[in-house]
Every structure is written in structure tokens, then in C-alpha cells.
Amino acid sequence: MAAAAVAEVSTSKAYEELTGKLRELDALNGISGLLGWDELVMMPEGAVGSRGAQKSALAGVLYDKRTDKQLGGLLQQLKAAAGELDPVQAAVVRDASRSYTRETAVPKELAQRIAKLETDAYVAWVAARKESNFSKFAPFLQQWVDVNKQKAAAIDPAAPAYDVLLDDYEKGMTSARLDEIFAEVRKGLVPLLAELREKGSPPDDAWLAGSYSLDTQAALCREVALALGFDTNNGRLDVSVHPFTGGSHPTDVRMTTRFKEGDLTEGLTGAIHETGHALYEQGRNLGKEWEGLPVNSALSMGIHESQSLFWERMVGLSQPFAEWLLPLVSKHFPEFPKRSAADFYAAENVIKSPSLIRVEADEVTYPLHIILRYEIERGLIDGTIKVEDVPCIWNQKMKDYLGTAPEDDAKGCLQDVHWSAGLFGYFPTYSLGAMYACQIYEHAKQQLPELEQQVAAGNFTPLREWLNEHIHRKGSLHPSGDALMTAVTGNALQPQVFLAYLRSKYSKLYKLS
């Protein structure tokens, strides 16, 4: 009995020491987040040099603390005592161990090469895109393929390299599981898109064109964000060149938006999208066993994206939401055309034709843009695709999946910044997010029978609180998106739910049935 008591105290003390170190890291990461937000939103141009020095100094402190040998020792001890940990503690140790392994496995020389390549490859990508000449970027893409394979081998030599890279963004996901998901989506979407274009009647969206004051758009979007539940006591809403959500803590969430004078819907959907991210951050668990620890972090990029797309698409692009939003738009823009909520809903959901640019794509064509990129980047990593063949393969897949091909590299394989930063494994999270969002929304409708009526009335509290309870406050308790989906909806991610949603919605909008 005495030996067991000593072991229990030892494990308890080790966990206490571990959480102290992890909370200190979380606080430092919060400072880093604030520096980044300030740089993009508030910082004067003349401060670029000093901000770079500040970020570099902080990065050094963070690296030392993330790779601290004492931290590693505590994790080793606690992994050996896993049977003594409760589920929250086990999740803390699991995710902290994963991060420690990834931080310490990459040799210093390789880390330095990666840091230099980030700058060199970005400069080359900007120049290549400007000239629409992939060959100018190709040598740098090859370098990224090589260093990413080396990085993956250093972290986990037994796993497929792409799976190791994917795990940076989508914990627990594998290329085998992605193949299964994306094959089903591609099989369902390609013929649906062809049918909608060939047999459907596109809704009229020409009447949305106009000139919309940027200041008035900002006021409208602020009102929408607040109505959805963004809490300005625990956050800020500003304008930036590229919309993003950041900050330092659930009590300090910084959200930014942007607007175009000639496009009202882009500003609205962008603001709703970022509000979804912000609500996830503000809804995280502040219980003493959770706050400042890895278990309280967003589970993955895909789950975070699911929360932005949940509000942007499942709610914001629905007819009940249009019924609530249209009077608000008319209040801010009295000159807005006098059309019905049904017309507004239809106009917001027109499918792009042709759909060449990922960031401008609609919810039907967008997943095919992602699948194309996934197939190419996975092929680059496993060696089945050569860098020099990327433009040709890109254009062929565009024809096969989306029925069109870009006229040049700038509108094709050079359109995204991701590969210039070596972000292999990032693209899939966008469409995983859309599918997670759809499955969560379908389950929420079962749990909240009055949901659509509440949305039409502008009562978003029941839905937001449901998400707080089932998604936001669960953080990283579960080891993967599939595990979270199973806990929330009863099933792992089901692509057929997403496909059924798209077919039902767009068959009606395009009058196929």
C-alpha cells in the first residue's frame, strides 16, 4: 500500500510540474500571437526591423522551452504511468508528447535549411507567378519536397512521409483515410457538377452587383458578428488586408475582416467565416484542468475550419439565414434591390463557371480544387509525380474534375502560396472542414428541432451554446477528427452526408427536381 501511495504522489507531482511548464509555453505563445496580430493590423511601417528582432528573440525562447530535456523527462515518466491519468490528463500528455517529439526530432541543420527555404521559395514563387512561369519556381518546390521527406523521416521513419506531414495539420488523419474520403467525394461531385451545368438553370445573381460603401459594409458585418455571438468584452474586430482570427487566449480573440466596394457578399461571407473561427476560440474550456494546456487547443486545422464553414455555409448561406439577413442589409443599404429572401438566398449560392481559382470557388466546386492539390502533393512526396510534370498534371485534372483548364501557370499551379511555404498536408483540411461542418449541422438539426426557425428569427444562442458544449469546450480531448465526429454525431466522418447535402440543395436551386 505504501509503495502505491508513493507512486501516486510521484505521478501527481510530475503532472503538476508538466502543466506548469505547458502553461508557461501557452502564455508565451499568446504573446507571439499578439505580436503577429499587431504586425498585420496596427504596427507602423517603421517598426518592421524592431518587430523582426522581437519575434526572433521570442522564437528562441519558445524553442528552448519546447525542447527542454526536463520537459521530455516528465513526459516520459507520465507516459509510463498512463494508467494513473484521467482522460483529460491523458490527452494533455498525449498531445504534449506528440509536440515534443516533432520539435526535438528535426536536426538543427535541417531546421535552418527549412527557415532559409521559406524566404527563398516565397520570393521565387512571387516572381514565377508574376511571370506565369512555373519553371522559375520548380527548383524551390523540389527543395521543399526533399526537405519535407527528410523532416518526415526524422520524426517517424516508420510512417509514410505524407502521413507525418499531414499530422502537422490534421491529427490522426492518414493518406489512406483521405483516399477513401476524397475518392467518394470526387465520384459524387464530378457528375453532379456536370449535371448542374448541363441541365440546371442558374439562379439570377446579376442584381447583387452594385457599389457598397466600405464603412457601411463594416458596420453591417459588425452587427452580424455580434448577433452570432462574438463577444467584444473578450475580443476585437478590425480590418486587415487578409482576414484572419488570432489573439492570445479565449478571453482575447482578435478577428479581422476586409471588404470590396463592388462585392457585398464577399465581405459578408468572409466576416461570418471569421466569426466562426472566433466563436470556437472564445468558446474554449476555461476550467482549471483545461486552461492553458494542449487539451484545450483546437483539435486540428480541419476542425477549426469546420467551425468557420459551419457558420459561413451551413448557417450563413441557408435560406433561413437569408430571411433574417435581408432586412438587416436593407437597413444599412436602403438602396438595396427590393427582392425576396428566396431570391437573396439563390443569388448567394450560384456555382462559379468556370471555376479556376480556389479562393473564389463555391461550395460545390471547392472540394474538387482541394482533391486535385492533395493528389499532386501526395504524389510529389511519394515519388509518383515529378516536379516538372506538375503544370501538365494540374491542367489535366482541372479538365477532368472541373471541366476547364487555366490559360497560364499563374491561374493554375502557381495560384496558391502554400507550396512556397512547404505546407504539404494543409490543403486537405479545408475540405475536411466543410465535411465536418455539414455532418455536425445535420446532427445539430436533430438535437435542436426548432433550429431553422430560430435562425430565421435571428436567435443564434441555442445553436452557439450547443456548439460550445459539444465542440468548442472539448478542445483536443479526442485524438482525431473522426473520433470527435463519432463522439458528437455517432459516426466517423461520412462523405455521403456532405454529398447528399450538396445534391439536395443545388438540385432545388438549379431546378433539377
Query: Which residues belong to the active site?
Result: 274
Contact 351, 364 (CB under 8 A): yes
What helix, strand, coil percent values describe the chain, rounded to 5?
A: 70, 5, 25
How far is residue 326's CA from residue 318's CA, in Å, rounded to a whole number? Answer: 12
Q: How many CB atoms lie within 10 A of CB 370?
A: 21
For residue 239, which of 262, 217, 223, 212 has the smallest C-alpha distance?
217
Residue 493: phi and psi, rounded to 5, are -55, 130
How far is residue 252's CA from residue 244's CA, in Å, rounded to a whole number? Answer: 14
How far is residue 227's CA from residue 225's CA, in Å, rounded to a whole number? Answer: 5
Angle at 220 between CA 218 and CA 225, to 5 degrees: 90
Contact 51, 43 (CB under 8 A): yes
For residue 91, which of 487, 501, 474, 507 has the smallest C-alpha distance?
474
End-to-end CA distance of the chain: give it in Å, rounded: 72
Q: How many CB atoms lie within 10 A of CB 254?
A: 24
Name residue 32's amino acid.
Answer: S
Strands 245-249 and 235-239: unpaired
How far is residue 473's CA from residue 477's CA, in Å, rounded to a whole number? Answer: 9
Residue 263: phi and psi, rounded to 5, are -145, 95
* DSSP run (H or E) holding 238: strand 235-239
Secondary structure letter of residue 263 according to DSSP: B
Peptide bond before residue 354 is cis, with ω within 30 degrees of 0? yes
How far is residue 19's CA from residue 15's CA, in Å, rounded to a whole number? Answer: 6
